[in-house]
Amino acid sequence: MTMLIIGYGNAGRGDDGLGPAFAERISGAGLNGCRIDIDFQLTVEHALLVTEAEIVVFVDAMIGSDTPYCFTRVRADRSADLASHSLLPEAVLTLAEMLYDKRPEAFVLGIGGDSFGEVAEGLSVTARTNLDLAEAFLLDWFAASHMSGEAAVELSGLG
């Protein structure tokens, strides 16, 4: 089983850096068969990258959630057009399907934050707490998936 974790966001915009922070932590965990990618945002070339994995986890900051994290399955969706230079996970998956005929299993891990927009480095207290919880969840989920050889969907859900 090959897994790709893409943590994206801008660490110069407060809690928008949750995705990269998560990816950096996970890369330190040395998960077997798991590739880590860190980026400012999702762009069209991620469609090529996701074709190299069987399971993809998109990790992004989440605004306005009352849960620490949210883990949900995501699928290709042609209504998720390119809104700007950055893409939604659904658009990345759609491009992978249309251009390369690849359909990796995919999930979004959204981690709650509460400080966005202003130019600022570092995560808020809330974001750091949620990051810990999301990391623990992902490690459990990864272990379960690794044992079964497929994505452990039964562990998916709201954190």
Contact set with another protein (CB under 8 A): 9-13, 15-16, 18, 38-41, 43-45, 47-48, 60-64, 78-86, 88, 94-95, 98-100, 108, 110, 113, 116-121
Q: Nearest distance from residue 158's CB to another protein, in Å?
A: 14
Q: Nearest distance from residue 147's CB to another protein, in Å?
A: 29
SS3 letters across the chain: CCEEEEEECCCCEEHHHHHHHHHHHHHHHCCCCEEEEEECCCCCCHHHHHHHCCEEEEEEEECCCCCCEEEEECCCCCCCCCCCCCCCHHHHHHHHHHHHCCCCEEEEEEEECCCECCCECCCCHHHHHHHHHHHHHHHHHHHHHHHHCCCCHHHCEEC
For residues 8 and 58, the answer to whether their CB atoms sit within 8 Å is yes
Q: Nearest distance from residue 117's CB to another protein, in Å?
A: 5
Q: Nearest distance from residue 68's CB to another protein, in Å?
A: 14
Distances (CA, A) of 139 to 27, 42, 109, 118, 130: 11, 23, 12, 31, 14
Nearer to another protein, 125 or 147 (CB): 125
Q: Nearest distance from residue 23's CB to another protein, in Å?
A: 11
Nearer to another protein, 57 or 88 (CB): 88
Nearer to another protein, 9 or 104 (CB): 9
Nearer to another protein, 34 or 109 (CB): 109
Nearer to another protein, 122 or 143 (CB): 122
